[in-house]
Amino acid sequence: MNIILMDDVINNPNKYVKDILSGDFYDVDIEGEVFKGIQQRPNDDEFGQFAMQYFPEFVVDYNFVRKSPMGQEEPNFIHSDEMMGDVTLILYLNKEHPKEDGTTIYEQDGSVAMVAYSKYNRVFGFDSNMLHSRNIYQNFGDEDSSRLIQVIFLKYVPDEEYEGD
C-alpha cells in the first residue's frame, strides 16, 4: 500500500478555488456511468505541475475537479480507479467542511484499512487499484459550498519510452 499525504500544495489556494468556481461543471459519461459536476482541467495546471514534480516517472492522464453537493447521486461508492491510471491524487478544496470529510481506503475484503481526513489544500494519494470511497456517503453543502475535490490520475511511463529525448 503506497500512500502520500501532503499539505499546502497550491501556492494561492483561495485564488485557485475562485478560478475553479468561476468555470462550468458538466455531467460526464464514462463507460456508461454518469459522473455529475465535473470540470476538466488542463493536465499542466498548478496541481498537474505538482504531480509531475513529485512523480517524474508518471504522466498526468486525466485531471478534473468534482463538485458534489449534498444528496447528489453518484455512480458508485466503494470503488477503485485501476481503469483510470496507476496513482490517484485527490486535492481537497473546501476551506469549510464537516470534520469527517475525506477518503476511506479499504482492504480487499471490504474492511477499513485507513481513513484520511480532508484539510483545505491537502493532497491524498494512493495506488489506483486500492478500493476507496469518500467518507461522507451523501456528500455535503450546496452551490459553492459543495464538496469540492480535484482528482488526477497518473500513469506510469517506463524509462525506455523517454529514450532519445
Binning pLDDT at 50, 70 and 90, where does residue 48 land? very high
Top-confidence residue, 32 or 123: 123
pTM: 0.94
* Closest by CA position to 149, among listed 53, 63, 76: 63
For residue 51, which of 82, 83, 18, 87 has the smallest C-alpha distance? Answer: 87
Of 117, 113, 139, nearest in space to 127 by CA? 113
Encode pLDDT of 108-163 as tens digits.
999 999 999 999 999 999 999 999 999 999 999 999 999 999 999 999 998 755 55
The CATH H-level superfamily of 3-157 is: q2cbj1_9rhob like domain (2.60.120.620)
Predicted confidence band of residue 164 (pLDDT cuts 50, 70, 90): very low
pLDDT of residue 34: 86
- At residue 46, the 3 state secondary structure works out as helix
- The amino acid that residue 29 corresponds to is D
Residue 71 predicted with pLDDT over 60: yes
Mean pLDDT of the chain: 93
> Domain ranges in the chain?
3-157
Q: Give, in degrees to the nearest 5, the angle at Cα 80 between 76 and 86.
A: 145
d(CA 146, CA 78): 20
